[in-house]
Amino acid sequence: MVSKWITKGVQFAVRFAVLCGYISAAMNQYGTISVEGPAFTNREVTLKATPFYPLGCDVEWRYIMEDGTQFKTMDGVNGASTCCEDGSFFLKWKASLEYNKADFFAGCSTNKTIKTDVITINLRDIVGSCGALEILSPVVRGADVKLAYFPSDLYIHRKTDTGRTWTHNLQDIQLQDGSYEERSVSKYLYILTIFNFKEKDEGPYDLKCNADSKTDSVHLHMSERPSYPVFDPKLFDFNTTQCIYVYAGSDFYCNTENGTEPVQIVILLGQNSFVHGERNGGKGYQIDNIHQQMGGLSRRNVTCRVSNAALETPYEVHGTLCSVEKGSPPVLSVPEFLEGENSSAICEVRNAIPAPLLEIHVDNVLLGDVQQKDLFNESSHTFTSTAKVTKSNNMWNGKRMCCIRRRNFRCP
């Protein structure tokens, strides 16, 4: 720290805080892959692939049979079709028994190294004379919950349809009362919608396909959504800069609360994805060694994605990881004579991030009437911070005056 004795003028210097960091990564270049809904033998099976970011290439689905020796593409497989919705891709096909235990992944058609993890298809038989029930949607308070009925081959091949009766808690459901709706998708699929799901709608459901046969029951219990995720640590200027600052020795957190387990949290940093263990018994996930991951870059976009059974669409929160810049050397501005109420002493720091807290001291006394302004530059994403003293005191004569840049964040 540079300082001078106050005589006719005052010189300033800025002492910069040194801050510090720590991180580990598991990399997945393409995104996620999952089986959507049930997977029955000789019925339509759906795979879903969601890229972490736009790739600019078509999706390619590849698989290998349980005893196979090489991966093949799904192109040309009878009945296979691909569609997209809300940034995700879906593969649908009628899965015969040979696909049981087959491994699948999705990837970029023009770059074979960009792909998801591998997922295994476990096909189940539809047993019994009626068929099987499956839950199609999250069971959430106030939502419309969907149950699917997959008829057995015996039911499908009957010459006459003897009718279907849905039951809840062993009581017949009256479709006409407005709380329920049945939709026939095809002879292979019927969907029951329960509108505005409440506690009274919890419990076992089944379907009677004739007078003496019914499906096994499924039990509906409400799942709770997790809270919307937040980043930590966020400084006071986050709403202006969207910056989470990268200090050596500090950690970066994405936090969410509550929610029915399991709650999945993925942090996306550039082309890397991170999955973490729980912290302090809650759902706080962190990246350690974040300072090294930044690799000298000044700004990197970061996304936290949270999902569980109660969320049809994952929650996402976005921000920017910003490496710390010390700012320019301070520009000192003082009048020739520092006296009276009209003279001003000014301490200025440019190109600073985060906006510094500037303190002006006379000897060891912190001045309380310092006026500070922080101007944010949208182009450089940095601040120009100015601290000004507009009143002087004769008691300062012969004493030191200095300006100190305080830490905005302390290592935990």
The predicted pLDDT at position 7 comes to 42
> Do residues 214 and 234 share a domain?
no
| Average confidence (pLDDT) over 88-110 | 93
Residue with the bigger pLDDT between 234 and 39: it is 39
Reported as half-sphere exposure (CB side, CA atoms, 13 A), residue 364 has a value of: 0
- Per the DSSP assignment, residues forming a β-bridge with 141 are none
Pair 30, 52: CB distance under 8 Å:
yes
Pair 369, 389: CB distance under 8 Å:
yes
Q: Is residue 362 part of a domain?
A: yes
Q: Is residue 394 part of a domain?
A: yes
Residue with the bigger pLDDT between 25 and 177: it is 177
Is the model's pLDDT at 352 over the cut of 50? yes
> How would residue 182 be classed by pLDDT, with cut points 50, 70 and 90?
very high
Pair 55, 108: CB distance under 8 Å:
yes
Is the model's pLDDT at 28 over the cut of 50? no
Please count the residues of the chain.
Answer: 412
The predicted pLDDT at position 216 comes to 93
| Average confidence (pLDDT) over 219-248 | 85
Can you give the CATH number for the domain in which 199 is found?
Answer: 2.60.40.10
> Do residues 165 and 114 share a domain?
no
| Average confidence (pLDDT) over 346-374 | 86
Is the model's pLDDT at 400 over the cut of 90? no
| Average confidence (pLDDT) over 336-356 | 77
Is the model's pLDDT at 282 over the cut of 60? no
Q: Is residue 376 part of a domain?
A: yes
How far apart CA 164 and CA 184 sit, in angstroms, is 11
> Do residues 234 and 312 share a domain?
yes
> Do residues 317 and 242 share a domain?
yes
The predicted pLDDT at position 276 comes to 61
The predicted pLDDT at position 133 comes to 95
The predicted pLDDT at position 2 comes to 34
Is the model's pLDDT at 376 over the cut of 60? yes
Amino acid at 25: A
Vertex 58 angle, CA 55 and 62, to 5°: 110
| Poorest-pLDDT segment among 14-23, 138-147, 275-284 | 14-23
Best CA proximity match to 117, nearest among 266, 230, 308? 266
> Do residues 241 and 313 share a domain?
yes
Q: Is residue 125 part of a domain?
A: no
pLDDT, one tens digit per residue, over 52-78 is 878 888 899 999 999 888 999 998 776
Best CA proximity match to 3, nearest among 402, 404, 406? 402
- String of DSSP letters for 55-104: -SS-EEEEEE-TT-SS-EE-TT-TT-EEEEETTEEEEEEEE-GGGTT-EE
Q: Quote the domain boundaries for residue 386.
A: 4-19+326-406
Six-digit token string for 95: 């899965």
> How would residue 240 be classed by pLDDT, with cut points 50, 70 and 90?
confident
How far apart CA 323 and CA 118 sit, in angstroms, is 35
> Do residues 241 and 166 share a domain?
no
Q: Is residue 24 part of a domain?
A: no
The predicted pLDDT at position 80 comes to 83
> How would residue 19 be classed by pLDDT, with cut points 50, 70 and 90?
very low
> Do residues 317 and 374 share a domain?
no
Q: Which of 120, 140, 156 is the last residue of a domain?
A: 120
For the chain, give me the number of helices (H) and strands (E)?
3, 36
Q: Is residue 412 part of a domain?
A: no
How far apart CA 21 and CA 242 sit, in angstroms, is 19
> Do residues 137 and 166 share a domain?
yes
**b vs e for 370-392, b when ≥16 Cβ sit within 10 Å of the residue's Cβ?**
beeebeeeeeebbbbbbbbbeeb
Q: Is the torsion defined by CA of 105, 106, 109, 111 positive or negative? A: negative
Which positions ≥6 away from 281 have C-beta within 8 Å?
none
> Do residues 80 and 156 share a domain?
no
Is the model's pLDDT at 338 over the cut of 70? no
The predicted pLDDT at position 299 comes to 81
> Do residues 114 and 148 share a domain?
no
Q: Is residue 25 part of a domain?
A: no
> Do residues 35 and 75 share a domain?
yes
In degrees and rounded to multiples of 5, residue 245 shows phi and psi of -80, 140
Q: Which of 323, 352, 385 is the last residue of a domain?
A: 323
pLDDT, one tens digit per residue, over 110-168 is 888 899 999 999 999 998 889 999 999 889 889 999 999 999 988 888 755 667 899 99
Q: Is residue 258 part of a domain?
A: yes
The predicted pLDDT at position 234 comes to 82
Report the run of H or E that residue 156 belongs to, with start and end: helix 153-156
Question: What average pLDDT is seen over the chain?
Answer: 81
Q: Which of 283, 298, 323 is the last residue of a domain?
A: 323
Task: Please tell me the total count of domains within the chain.
Answer: 4
- String of DSSP letters for 252-315: EEEEE---SSPPEEEEEETTEEEE---STTSEEEEESSHHHHHTT-SEEEEEEEEE-TT-SS-E
Longest dimension (CA), the chain: 108
> Do residues 333 and 316 share a domain?
no
| Average confidence (pLDDT) over 186-207 | 94
